Amino acid sequence: MTDKAHAIMSLRPNAEFSLVGANKLTWYDTVQTQPTDAEIDAEVIRLQAEYDNNAYQRLRATAYPPITDQLDTIYHEGIDAWKAVITAVKEEYPKP
């Protein structure tokens, strides 16, 4: 799915439309109005910024140990040991 299609779906949830290539938009929805090109372009930029700003979340998600290992750490080594593991990941990938 293209960035433009994501932007349209963000602006007009459940809208009925087709998008051929990057620019051929056909609007079928009779309930919602078609967004303007300026609205779509602005939403593409907003969605990209949101995605970029949340990169730390995606990095953390892959860096955290599996939940089974986390529970094992809590059971065998205690909450403080588990907190140390989690804190290390959070420090490696801080919130912006």
* Average of per-residue pLDDT across 30-49: 96
- H helices, E strands: number in the chain: 5, 2
Rounded Cα–Cα distance for residues 96 and 72 (Å): 30
More confident residue, 41 or 2: 41
CA–CA gap between residue 78 and residue 15 (Å, rounded):
50
Q: What is the pLDDT of residues 47-67, one digit of tens each?
A: 999 999 999 999 999 999 999
State the pLDDT confidence band at 96, using cuts at 50, 70 and 90: confident
Residue 5 CA from chain centroid, whole number: 15
pLDDT in tens, 18-27: 999 878 999 9
pLDDT of 31 > 80? The answer is yes
CA 94 to chain centre: 17
pLDDT at 1 over 90: no
Query: Which one-letter amino acid corresponds to residue 91?
Result: E
